[in-house]
């Protein structure tokens, strides 16, 4: 279904009433079932008899049913049922899951930490509407970021006093770049002041819970998987992913406005035994509430899959959480000049650095404004579409991606062997001509990564994949060490017949003096 999603979406969006398409659990009478379906959002649900055959969403596509849905009602705040878990307490050192703010009224959650690739400075990750506002734009104003709130009278008499509650300064906020891209996000980062940056707890917890979450990396959200989060409003909760892909949100003003299409979203509902509840007319189990905005959502392996930003608490008998795909968050930040490396917890074993797997996803990078390929990787690819390496890629990459994303033993090896970090380094080498790909990352050299993946793919891969690994392993292993640029790697691949054209033949000529 994931392989076919873009084609299915393209075809369904030709129908006059369809506004967004994703995939996830099918709904029956307002309840979520265990059946996987293409989830199709329409501007308004209409009786089948009132539609022409050419206008109707088909009952099924291939082997999977469709589910026709109205836009979600995304609501900012809800009362709670039972005890309030909100915590605005001061935490030193800083840690994930605590409250942060840039004003004296509102607050959100410090989701997680990272390091800017440009200068190695420490940053915190949260939502744009936490550090800035809810407008759909990119903002780079510098604002003081505080924990607890700037207006807390126990900490500060005014918002300019510069007391210890000011922990950093915002760098950028991004909200819904474009409804036509795969990077519809609500995300922001703030550079942490040096006094706090040297003493950060790389874990997620707060005063409302005894649970402590550790981060081991990032991963793709999987429909049906159990996830967890700790936020400043609802504390520790557990949920189930019920949708990945695009969704539609109804206008904030029922009397007017347009439906907002949010691309690349992850929807989560609370598990059956979750005790946190919100009140929207009646008490409803919930995975999140306002004040949890900016909290990261983790799978059971401790990998970040999404960044929480909103919720629908009116449509269903349970509350629904809406979050941005974490790969899209990192891509949006990088595309706007702030590429960063997410931190991992010390308890995450030998996984010292984690990066999004976005580069390894099936989506091709966006072209440059002049229509030329986006970077050296794409130029090299386009010049070698009929090479042996391209053939091997087309033959096996979908299977390998499926194993990395969904086969736990393969996923664990990929992250422990620093696969995401090496992918990020290669991606940067494709964009930055002067960048040198490291021979070793977090104690794992290139041969270590290749050997680890060879072993696990031989165990879990198809017969065709196993045969090609055995056939080409020695030659490919010889490419592990003696290069630090893509040009040098390509020259080695060409000399052994894997590709035909080296990057110097496809890199644009320099102009000017």
75 is a domain residue = no
Residues 316, 317, 322, CA angle at the centre, nearest 5°? Answer: 50
220 is a domain residue = yes
User: Does residue 376 share a domain with residue 432?
Assistant: yes
Residues 80, 86, 88, CA angle at the centre, nearest 5°? Answer: 155
121 is a domain residue = yes
User: Does residue 211 share a domain with residue 132?
Assistant: yes
Q: Residue 132: its pLDDT value, please?
A: 95
Two tokens, residue 140: 């780079």
Q: How far is CA 394 from CA 149, 278, 391, 402, in A?
A: 52, 48, 5, 14
Contact (CB, 8 A) for 75 and 313: yes
User: Does residue 84 share a domain with residue 64?
Assistant: no
Contact (CB, 8 A) for 485 and 376: no
CATH of the domain at 41: 3.30.300
Residue finishing a domain among 332, 350, 375 = 332
How far out from the chain centre does Cα 246 lie?
13
Q: Residue 151: its pLDDT value, please?
A: 65
511 is a domain residue = no
User: Does residue 86 share a domain with residue 65?
Assistant: no
How many angstroms separate the CA atoms of 371 and 505, rounded?
18
* Closest to 186 measured CA to CA, from 331, 356, 309, 311: 309
Q: Which residues pair with 101 in a beta bridge?
A: 146
* Closest to 376 measured CA to CA, from 486, 483, 499: 486
Number of neighbours of residue 511 by Cβ within 10 angstroms: 5
Q: Are β-strands 64-69 and 31-42 bridged in parallel, bridged antiparallel, or unpaired?
A: parallel
How many angstroms separate the CA atoms of 381 and 397, rounded?
14
CATH of the domain at 189: 2.40.10.10
User: Does residue 115 share a domain with residue 247?
Assistant: yes
User: Does residue 289 share a domain with residue 259?
Assistant: yes
Within 13 Å of residue 404, how many CA atoms lie on the same side as its CB? Answer: 25
User: Does residue 145 share a domain with residue 92?
Assistant: yes
Number of domains in the chain: 3
How many angstroms separate the CA atoms of 25 and 471, rounded?
41
Two tokens, residue 161: 């006093």
User: Does residue 298 share a domain with residue 156?
Assistant: yes
Q: Residue 157: its pLDDT value, please?
A: 43
Residue finishing a domain among 69, 92, 110 = 69
Q: Residue 430: its pLDDT value, please?
A: 78
343 is a domain residue = no
Q: Residue 373: its pLDDT value, please?
A: 41
**Quick check: pTM over 0.95?**
no
Q: Residue 362: its pLDDT value, please?
A: 29
How many angstroms separate the CA atoms of 490 and 502, rounded?
5
User: Does residue 53 share a domain with residue 126?
Assistant: no
Q: Rounded to the nearest 10 degrees, how much is the dihedral formed by the CA atoms of 268, 272, 276, 279?
A: 80
Number of neighbours of residue 144 by Cβ within 10 angstroms: 20
Two tokens, residue 62: 């291939």
Number of neighbours of residue 486 by Cβ within 10 angstroms: 22
DSSP letter at 16? T
477 is a domain residue = yes
Tokens 């960044």 label which residue?
A: 307
Residue finishing a domain among 332, 347, 381 = 332
Q: Residue 291: its pLDDT value, please?
A: 95
Q: How far is CA 59 from CA 12, 23, 37, 56, 138, in A?
A: 12, 14, 10, 9, 39
How far out from the chain centre does Cα 251 lie?
25
How many angstroms separate the CA atoms of 377 and 354, rounded?
21
> Integer distance in angstroms from the first to the last C-alpha of the chain?
51
Structural domain boundaries, residue 42: 2-69
Q: Where does 70-213 show beta strands of DSSP type E?
A: 79-81, 94-96, 99-100, 108-109, 112-116, 122-126, 138-139, 144-146, 166-175, 186-192, 200-204
144 is a domain residue = yes
Q: Are β-strands 303-312 and 186-192 bridged in parallel, bridged antiparallel, or unpaired?
A: unpaired
341 is a domain residue = no
DSSP letter at 399? H
User: Does residue 94 share a domain with residue 56?
Assistant: no
DSSP for 171-209 reads EEEEE---TTSS---EEEEEEEPHHHHTSEEEEE--TT-
How many angstroms separate the CA atoms of 504 and 343, rounded?
35
User: Does residue 167 share a domain with residue 278?
Assistant: yes
Q: Residue 363: its pLDDT value, please?
A: 31
User: Does residue 93 share a domain with residue 232?
Assistant: yes
Q: Residue 100: its pLDDT value, please?
A: 96
Contact (CB, 8 A) for 296 and 307: yes
Q: Rounded to the nearest 10 degrees, how much is the dihedral formed by the CA atoms of 442, 447, 452, 458?
A: 160
Two tokens, residue 126: 């949260």
Contact (CB, 8 A) for 237 and 308: no
Could you list the pLDDT tens digit for every one of the 513 residues in the chain?
888 898 999 999 999 999 999 999 999 888 899 999 999 999 988 887 788 888 899 999 999 999 999 999 887 778 999 889 999 999 999 999 999 999 888 999 999 999 998 888 999 999 999 999 988 889 999 999 999 887 655 544 444 444 678 999 999 999 975 544 445 899 999 999 998 998 899 999 999 999 999 999 999 999 999 999 999 999 999 999 999 999 998 886 656 678 888 989 999 999 999 999 999 889 999 999 999 999 999 999 999 999 999 999 888 999 999 999 999 999 999 989 999 999 999 854 332 233 223 333 323 334 444 444 456 777 788 888 888 888 888 889 888 988 887 888 898 899 888 888 888 788 778 777 777 888 888 888 999 999 999 999 999 999 989 999 998 888 888 878 778 888 888 888 888 888 888 766 665 544 443
């Amino acid at each position: 279904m994931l392989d076919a999603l873009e084609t299915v979406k393209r075809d369904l969006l030709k129908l006059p009433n369809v506004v967004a398409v994703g995939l996830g659990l099918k709904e029956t009478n307002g309840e979520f079932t265990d059946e996987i379906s293409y989830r199709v959002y329409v501007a308004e649900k209409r009786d089948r008899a009132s539609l022409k055959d050419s206008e109707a969403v088909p009952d099924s596509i291939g082997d999977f049913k469709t589910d026709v849905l109205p836009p979600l009602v995304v609501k900012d705040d809800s009362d709670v049922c039972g005890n309030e878990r909100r915590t605005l307490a001061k935490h030193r050192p800083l840690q994930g899951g605590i409250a942060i703010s840039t004003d004296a009224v509102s607050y959100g959650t410090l989701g997680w930490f990272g390091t800017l690739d440009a200068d190695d400075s420490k940053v915190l990750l949260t939502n744009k509407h936490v550090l800035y506002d809810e407008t759909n734009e990119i903002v780079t104003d510098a604002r003081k970021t505080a924990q607890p709130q700037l207006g807390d009278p126990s900490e500060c008499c005014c918002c300019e006093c510069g007391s210890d509650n000011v922990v950093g300064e915002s760098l950028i906020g991004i909200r819904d770049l474009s409804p036509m891209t795969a990077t519809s996000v609500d995300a922001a980062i703030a550079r942490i002041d040096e006094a706090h940056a040297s003493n950060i707890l790389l874990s997620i917890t707060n005063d409302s819970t005894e649970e402590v979450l550790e981060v081991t990396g990032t991963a793709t959200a999987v429909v049906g998987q159990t996830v967890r989060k700790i936020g400043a409003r609802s504390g520790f909760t557990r949920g189930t992913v019920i949708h990945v892909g695009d969704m539609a949100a109804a206008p904030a003003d029922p009397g007017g406005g347009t439906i907002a299409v949010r691309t690349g979203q992850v929807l989560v509902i609370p598990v059956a035994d979750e005790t946190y509840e919100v009140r929207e007319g009646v008490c409803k189990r919930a995975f999140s509430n306002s004040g949890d905005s900016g909290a990261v959502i983790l799978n059971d392996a401790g990998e970040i899959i999404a960044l929480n930003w909103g919720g629908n608490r009116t449509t269903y008998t349970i509350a629904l959480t809406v979050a941005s795909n974490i790969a899209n968050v990192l891509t949006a930040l990088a595309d706007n000049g702030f590429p960063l490396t997410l931190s991992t917890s010390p308890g995450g074993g030998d996984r010292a650095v984690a990066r999004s797997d976005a580069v390894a996803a099936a989506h091709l990078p966006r072209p440059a404004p002049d229509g030329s390929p986006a970077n050296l990787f794409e130029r090299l690819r386009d010049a070698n579409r009929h090479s042996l390496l391209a053939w091997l890629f087309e033959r096996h990459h979908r299977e390998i991606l499926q194993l990395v994303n969904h086969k736990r033993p393969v996923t664990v090896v990929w992250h422990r062997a620093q696969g995401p970090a090496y992918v990020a380094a290669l991606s940067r080498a494709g964009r930055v001509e002067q960048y040198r790909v490291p021979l070793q990352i977090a104690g794992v050299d290139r041969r270590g990564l290749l050997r680890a993946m060879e072993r696990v793919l031989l165990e879990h891969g198809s017969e065709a994949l196993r045969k090609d690994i055995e056939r080409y392993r020695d030659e490919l292993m010889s490419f592990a060490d003696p290069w630090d640029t893509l040009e040098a790697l390509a020259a080695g691949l060409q000399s052994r017949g894997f590709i035909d054209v080296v990057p110097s033949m496809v890199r644009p000529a320099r102009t000017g003096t």
